[in-house]
C-alpha cells in the first residue's frame, strides 16, 4: 500500500493563500490602510483595481504596485455615487472581467460627528452624524450591491463566486468616547456583513462569501492628530489606547494583510459571516 504523498510546504501554503488570476477591487484604496491592503493583495497575485475619489492618488497607488511587478489600475469613483460605481464596474469588466474580491475599506469620520470632552450628546450635529453614518454604512452597501451583482450574476456558463471583505472597527464591540457617528456606522456595517453573508450564500450559492476585519488602533490620516503630537509623542488619548492594548503599541498597516489574504483565498472557503479582530489584544482586555 502506498502512502499519499504530501506536497512540499511551500506548495501547500500557496494552495491556501494564492490569489493569482483573481481580480480585486479595493474601495478607499488611497488611504493608509486601504493602499497597504491593495499592495498586499497584489503581492499575493491578484490584479488590483484601486478605488478612491482622488484620481491622482489612486493612480499613484496603482503605479507603486505596477513598479513592484504587480498588476493594478486606478478605478476612481465615489462609493456614495451609484452612477460612478456602475461606470467603474463597466470599466473593470471591459478591462479584466468580473471581480473576484471586493474590499470595502472606504469609510471615516468628521469632527462635527464627534463629542468633544467639553460637550455632550445633546450638542451632537445630527446632520454630520447622518453623513458619517452614510459614509460607513451606505459606503459599504452600495459597492457591495454593484460589484457583488457581478459576482452573483455572471455571464452565462459561469458559476457565481466571489469574496467581500468589509472593514469594521473596535468601536463596535465597546463604547469608545467621542466617536458616536463613526461607531454607529461601523456597527450597522458589521450587522450588514453578517446579513449579506447569509443572503448571498443562500440565494446564489456557497461560492459567495462575506466577512470583515476589525482593525484595532492604527495611525491614519484622520486620527493622527488625535493620537499623536506634532513631535510624534502620544496624546493623552493615544496613551490611553496603548495602555489598553496588551501589545503595548499601535498596529502597523502591513499587519492587516495576512488576515485579509487568508479571508480572500482558498484556505477560507468555509469561512463566512465572521468579523476577525486585528487589534493587539485590545478587544480581549478588560483594562484591569
Name the active-site residue from 147, 182, 250, 262. Answer: 182
CB 174 within 8 A of CB 162: no
DSSP 134: I
Largest Cα separation within the chain, whole Å, is 76
Does residue 237 carry a catalytic annotation? no
The length of the chain, given as a count of residues = 288
Dist CA 276 CA 263 (whole Å): 9
Dist CA 241 CA 170 (whole Å): 11
Whose cell is 507603486? That residue is: 64
The SS3 of residue 24 is strand
Dist CA 281 CA 4 (whole Å): 40
* Catalytic residue annotation: 182
Amino acid at each position: 500500500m502506498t502512502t499519499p504523498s504530501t506536497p512540499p510546504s511551500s506548495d501547500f501554503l500557496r494552495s491556501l493563500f494564492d490569489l493569482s488570476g483573481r481580480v480585486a477591487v479595493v474601495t478607499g484604496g488611497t488611504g493608509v490602510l486601504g493602499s497597504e491592503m491593495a499592495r498586499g493583495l497584489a503581492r499575493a497575485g491578484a490584479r488590483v483595481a484601486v478605488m478612491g475619489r482622488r484620481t491622482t492618488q489612486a493612480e499613484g497607488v496603482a503605479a507603486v504596485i505596477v513598479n513592484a511587478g504587480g498588476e493594478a489600475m486606478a478605478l476612481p469613483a465615489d462609493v456614495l455615487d451609484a452612477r460612478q460605481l456602475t461606470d467603474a464596474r463597466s470599466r473593470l469588466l471591459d478591462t479584466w472581467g468580473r471581480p473576484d474580491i471586493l474590499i470595502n475599506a472606504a469609510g471615516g469620520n468628521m469632527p462635527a460627528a464627534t463629542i468633544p470632552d467639553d460637550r455632550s450628546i445633546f450638542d451632537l450635529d445630527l446632520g454630520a452624524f447622518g453623513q458619517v453614518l452614510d459614509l460607513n454604512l451606505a459606503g459599504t452597501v452600495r459597492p457591495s450591491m454593484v460589484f457583488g451583482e457581478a459576482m452573483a450574476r455572471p455571464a452565462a456558463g459561469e458559476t457565481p463566486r466571489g469574496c467581500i471583505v468589509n472593514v469594521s472597527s473596535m468601536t463596535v464591540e465597546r463604547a469608545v468616547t467621542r466617536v458616536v457617528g463613526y461607531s454607529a456606522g461601523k456597527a450597522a456595517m458589521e450587522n450588514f456583513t453578517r446579513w449579506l453573508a447569509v443572503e448571498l450564500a443562500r440565494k446564489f450559492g456557497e461560492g459567495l462569501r462575506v466577512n470583515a476585519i476589525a482593525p484595532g488602533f492604527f495611525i491614519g490620516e484622520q486620527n493622527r492628530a488625535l493620537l499623536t503630537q506634532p513631535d510624534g509623542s502620544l496624546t493623552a488619548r493615544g496613551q490611553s489606547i496603548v495602555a489598553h492594548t496588551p501589545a503595548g503599541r499601535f498596529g502597523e498597516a502591513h499587519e492587516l494583510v495576512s488576515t485579509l489574504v487568508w479571508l480572500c483565498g482558498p484556505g477560507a472557503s468555509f469561512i463566512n459571516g465572521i468579523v476577525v479582530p486585528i487589534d493587539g489584544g485590545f478587544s480581549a482586555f478588560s483594562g484591569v
